[in-house]
C-alpha cells in the first residue's frame, strides 16, 4: 500500500461507514422505505450496521499495526497509526447515537 493510501484509508473508511449508517437511517425513517421493514427491525439493522463499521475500523487499525515488508518511513507509520486510532474513536463517537437514541423522531 502506498503511503498516501495508508494515510487516507482510516478517515475514508470512517466517512464511508458514517454515510452508510446515517443513509440507512434516513431510508428507514422515510415513509416509503419505512413501511417495507417490520417494526423493530430498523433499529436492529442500524445497530448491526454501526457495529460493522466500528469492526471494520478496528480491523483496519489491527492490519496497519502489523509490520510490512517494505521499510516504511517511521513518521508515516506513526501518523497512520494515529489517524487509524482517531478514526476508530470517531466511528464509536459518531455512531453511538444510533444505538442509544430513538430510531425515528
Within a domain: 79: yes
| Residue range of the domain that includes 75 | 3-100
CA dihedral sign of residues 78, 90, 96, 25: negative
Within a domain: 15: yes
Within a domain: 56: yes
DSSP 35: T
Within a domain: 58: yes
Length of the chain counted residue by residue: 105
Within a domain: 81: yes
Counting the structural domains of the chain, the total is 1
Within a domain: 105: no
Residue whose entry in the numeric block shows the C-alpha cell 421493514 = 37
Q: What is the value of pTM for the model shown?
A: 0.85
Asked if 21 contacts 53 with a C-beta cutoff of 8 angstroms, the reply is yes
State residue 71's pLDDT score. 63
For 51, other C-beta atoms within 10 Å of its C-beta total 14
Whole-number Å distance between alpha carbons of 99 and 104: 12
Within a domain: 64: yes
State residue 70's pLDDT score. 61
Which H helix or E strand runs over 29? Answer: helix 3-29
Within a domain: 59: yes
Hey, is 71 helix, strand or coil?
coil
Residue whose entry in the numeric block shows the C-alpha cell 457495529 = 51
pLDDT in tens, the chain (105 residues): 578 888 899 999 999 999 999 998 888 888 777 677 777 788 888 899 999 999 999 999 999 888 776 667 888 889 999 999 999 999 999 998 887 887 777
Amino acid at each position: 500500500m502506498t503511503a498516501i493510501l495508508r494515510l487516507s484509508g482510516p478517515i475514508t473508511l470512517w466517512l464511508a461507514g458514517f454515510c452508510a449508517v446515517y443513509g440507512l437511517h434516513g431510508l428507514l425513517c422515510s415513509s416509503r422505505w419505512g413501511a417495507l421493514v417490520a417494526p423493530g427491525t430498523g433499529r436492529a439493522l442500524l445497530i448491526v450496521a454501526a457495529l460493522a463499521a466500528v469492526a471494520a475500523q478496528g480491523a483496519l487499525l489491527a492490519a496497519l499495526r502489523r509490520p510490512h515488508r517494505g521499510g516504511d518511513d517511521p513518521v508515516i507509520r506513526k501518523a497512520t497509526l494515529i489517524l487509524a486510532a482517531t478514526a476508530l474513536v470517531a466511528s464509536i463517537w459518531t455512531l453511538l447515537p444510533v444505538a442509544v437514541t430513538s430510531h425515528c423522531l
